[in-house]
A = this chain, B = another copy of it.
Amino acid sequence: MNNHVTLKQLAKELGLSISTVSKALKNSYEINDKTILRVQALAKKHNYRPNRMALSLKNNQTKTIGVIIPNILNYFFSKVLLGIEDEANKNGYQIIICLSNNKYEKELQSLELLSDGSVDGFILSIARETQREKHHNHFNKIIKEGYPIVMFDRVSENVNCDKVVIDDFEATFNATNYLLKQGRKKIALISTVSNLDIGKQRTDGYTEALKKYQNYQNDAIVIPITDKSKYESTISDIFKEHKNIDAILTTNNVSAVTALKMAQLNGYKIPKDISVIGFSDDQISRLSHPKLSTIDQNAFEMGKKAVESLISRLAEKSTTAFKTQVVKTDLLVRETT
């Protein structure tokens, strides 16, 4: 129960009408200079600020963005959030956060919860479960209700909206190429996102690079891992099943670091005997020993772009075509390549 000063109270204290006070605070030309000064002085004294709910109701806009994040413990998403918050604040927007925890039900619920006039639009990355089970009606429904959505990273081709993605294909394509140019002969890909759309693109980038490279002798080796508890055992098996692997590309850093550890336990020298490239410029990659080479997704910029995109969508009356922005990735060469 906050005890804000309202226009009403100011008006009463000043012996003026509410509308005069309102205008005076806006330096309206209609109002006498002296009155303006009197009003503003009192407003300042009481630290008056217009009630946001009243403004929202009046203007039919909340200046608030709903953000739905699949997993806040993931460094990448945290960093996107940092970008979103920064850019939103710069534009006078607040952000309401919901966490889907990668569950479809929670995502759906969050969407419905916030589409009661709480926000002007959404920025979200699709929950793992949603993508696996190919749901998308809930998104389209929300859009039809008049809430624009901007999707980032994990997007759906079945939803017509603005998107911000990285070029997942190009990311692994370039990384694979880098390994090939270093003379690696047998490169494996560990995919922890094989059930996501981006997983397919990352796999394609890898296989395509191998295909295009002259004289590459081996088949593509793609090892999917879904169960977190099986990282160690699955990766350990790689070294048994595939002899002479001399490079490993991964889709996240937990698996990359695990691979690093397993390789070392198997007596490999890094990067002499085997190269490892992770995905995402997070703390783990900077703390491993040796320091992990990795693919930087420029998460902060993704967040920023998503906000820009949503705000310009909110600003316009007529619906211009939806666009998908691609944020470039960088290969960060550290000590494991």
Contacts and interface: CB of A to CB of B under 8 A. Distances in A.
Nearest to A286: B254
B85 A97 contact: yes
Interface in A256-279: 257-258, 261, 264
A57 B60 contact: no
Contact of A73 (B49, B78, B98, B146): B78
A53 B51 contact: no
Give the secondary structure class of A's interface.
mixed
Task: Select the residue from A53, A116, A118 with max chain B CB neighbours within 10 A.
Answer: A53
Task: Select the residue from A3, A78, A254, A257 with max chain B CB neighbours within 10 A.
Answer: A78
A3 B146 contact: yes
Interface in A63-92: 64, 72-73, 75, 78-79, 81-82, 85-86, 89
Given A82-B72, A85-B99, A287-B284, A4 B117 contact: yes
Given A81-B72, A98-B85, A287-B258, A116 B57 contact: no
Contact of A289 (B4, B47, B261): B261
Contacts of A99: 81-82, 85-86
A53 B117 contact: yes
Contacts of A258: 287
Nearest to A260: B289
Contacts of A50: 116
A115 interface: yes
Contact of A114 (B4, B54, B94, B314): B94
A53 B49 contact: no
Interface residues of A, number: 54
Interface in A91-139: 94-99, 113-118, 120
A80 B284 CA distance: 20
A56 interface: yes
A129 B97 CA distance: 25
Given A95-B97, A116-B49, A283-B284, A1 B61 contact: yes
Given A52-B116, A53-B62, A94-B118, A147 B2 contact: yes
A13 interface: no
A96 B98 contact: no
A327 to B, nearest CB: 19
Closest 6 CB pairs of A and B: A2-B146, A51-B117, A3-B146, A53-B56, A49-B116, A53-B57
Interface of A: 1-4, 47, 49-54, 56-57, 60-62, 64, 72-73, 75, 78-79, 81-82, 85-86, 89, 94-99, 113-118, 120, 145-147, 254, 257-258, 261, 264, 283-284, 287-289, 314
14 contacts: A1-B60, A3-B145, A4-B145, A4-B146, A49-B116, A50-B116, A51-B116, A53-B118, A85-B97, A85-B98, A94-B98, A94-B118, A254-B283, A258-B287
